[in-house]
Amino acid sequence: MLRTDSARARLLRLALWAFALVSAGLLYALFIRATGLGIPCIFHAVTGLDCPGCGVSRMCLALLRLDFKTAWSSNPAVMALMPLFGAVAADMSVRYVRTGKAAEDGFCRAALIFSAAVLTLFGVLRNII
């Protein structure tokens, strides 16, 4: 495919990357279901504490089964932030298709700082409560 700078070419490139990302996630989910093995949390292995991301694999597997209760109990912070992550991804995707640049703007920057603060607080609180 010729690398043109048209919006159509950028949209196709974005769609291919999204397809690859979703495919990799589904293959990982199938691997976990077939083997019971997942990516271990190094932070948990070293400290014995749960990091803010502990439970995300279980959450995603529960979401694939549409089991929202289990997904929430696996990692409520990431589950609650998912709509915000989706909004950031959509905002950056639209900007990339329109301009060719996906650099974050004020909304994205604020959303990512807010998410980092929430996840940091969640990581501390989940280990002391």
Question: What local confidence, expressed as pLDDT, does residue 34 receive?
Answer: 95
What does the alpha-carbon distance between residue 92 and residue 54 come to, in Å, rounded to a whole number?
26
Which residue, among 59, 54, 56, 57, has the nearest Cα to 70 in the 3D structure?
Answer: 59
pLDDT level of residue 103 (50, 70, 90 thresholds): confident
Using alpha carbons only, what angle is made at residue 69 by residues 65 and 71, rounded to the nearest 5 degrees? 60
pLDDT exceeds cutoff 60 at 1? no
pLDDT in tens, 5-45: 799 999 999 999 999 999 999 999 999 999 999 999 999 99
Which residue, among 87, 84, 39, 79, has the nearest Cα to 59 in the 3D structure?
Answer: 79
Q: How far is C-alpha 69 from the chain's CA centre?
A: 19
Query: In the chain, what percentage of residues exceed pLDDT 70?
Result: 97
Each domain of the chain, given as residue ranges in start order, spans 7-128
Question: What local confidence, expressed as pLDDT, does residue 4 receive?
Answer: 56
pTM greater than the 0.85 cutoff: yes
